[in-house]
């Protein structure tokens, strides 16, 4: 049985993720108290459900502290348990609540929206370190659905390495474990013929491949990841996110993320481009 747990900040996209998993054939449960997790999994196992998705968040706050132990216990019994933690920048969450005019789950305590967000972050603590964290600040609903599908389809592995490109002008991703700034490299943006293209297009790739500094940057990042990857494997970590950033997230960072994603054939690797639309991923 595969169990995907969805948690994270209110307004970060948990409903979108849960609906996507439902469309993929998962039996979905929203807002299940952690104390009932093992019980409901055994019940679903009895009726031969193979794919379950459960949302766990601060609405069941008193039991959240039980989640790490519950996940560990289920894994020891042979279940494929994954945690997807959705996050977003405070300004993004405030804007979303303002646009939708929805109440924050903690607002009944007389708190303002910023105060609710701060308290919720504190309540969730380091839960994101138990699984895969996605910063949805700059994502469209379609992008998030695409990334949730990718997460669900990934094979079970001790460690998954995620290479993602992004643009600094859109903000540094909250989910990055390492950030490499490649804005110092020659920029195809200044060539009118290359400007509308991306780092996935052959003319841009050919231009960047001819630059000695681009090759040196690639080699430096590759050597760093290659050298330290075994240590992260030994650290019992599930995901390692390597973020490559250029100015707009269209050319240099995309090119390097693409190359790096192909450079570790013996690892489970995911590739994402934060600033490209889903059709180009």
Distance of CA 51 to the CA centre of its chain: 20
Q: Give residue 61's pLDDT.
A: 72
Provide CB contacts within 8 A for 108, sequence distance 6+: none
- Return the minimum-mean-pLDDT range out of 11-25, 61-75, 215-229, 243-257: 61-75
Element (H, E) at 81: strand 80-87
Q: Give residue 279's pLDDT.
A: 59
Q: What is the pTM of this model?
A: 0.83
Helix, strand and coil in the chain, % to nearest 5: 50, 20, 35
| Distance of alpha carbon 86 from alpha carbon 17, whole angstroms | 9
Domains, the chain, with CATH or none: 2-153 (3.40.50.300), 160-280 (no CATH)
| Distance of alpha carbon 166 from alpha carbon 249, whole angstroms | 4
Percent of the chain residues topping a pLDDT of 90: 64
Question: Could you give the 3-state DSSP secondary structure of residue 241?
Answer: strand
Reference 26, options 84, 88, 105, 85; nearest CA is 84
Write out pLDDT tens, residues 96-141.
998 888 888 888 778 899 999 999 999 898 788 888 999 999 899 9
């Amino acid at each position: 049985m595969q169990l995907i747990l969805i948690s994270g900040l209110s307004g970060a996209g948990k409903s979108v993720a849960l609906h996507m998993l439902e469309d993929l054939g998962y039996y979905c449960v929203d807002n299940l108290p952690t104390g009932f997790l093992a019980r409901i999994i055994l019940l679903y196992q009895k009726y031969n459900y193979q794919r379950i998705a459960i949302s766990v968040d601060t609405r069941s706050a008193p039991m959240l502290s039980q989640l790490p132990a519950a996940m560990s216990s289920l894994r020891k019994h042979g279940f494929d348990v994954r945690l997807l933690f959705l996050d977003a920048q405070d300004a993004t969450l405030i804007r979303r609540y303002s646009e939708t005019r929805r109440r924050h789950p903690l607002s009944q305590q007389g708190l303002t929206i910023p105060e609710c967000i701060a308290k919720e972050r504190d309540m969730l603590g380091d839960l994101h370190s138990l699984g895969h964290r996605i910063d949805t600040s700059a994502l469209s609903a379609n992008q998030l659905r695409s990334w949730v599908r990718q997460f669900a389809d990934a094979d079970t592995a001790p460690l998954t390495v995620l290479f993602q490109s992004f643009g600094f002008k859109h903000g540094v991703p909250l989910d990055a474990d390492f950030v490499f700034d490649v804005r110092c490299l020659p920029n195809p943006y200044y060539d009118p013929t290359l400007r509308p293209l991306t780092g996935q297009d052959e003319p841009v790739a050919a231009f960047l491949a001819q630059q000695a500094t681009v090759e040196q940057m690639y080699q430096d990042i590759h050597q760093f990841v290659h050298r330290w990857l075994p240590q992260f494997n030994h650290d019992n970590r599930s995901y390692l996110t390597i973020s490559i950033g250029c100015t707009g997230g269209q050319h240099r960072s995309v090119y390097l993320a693409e190359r790096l994603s192909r450079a570790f054939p013996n690892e489970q690797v995911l590739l994402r481009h934060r600033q490209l639309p889903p059709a180009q991923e």
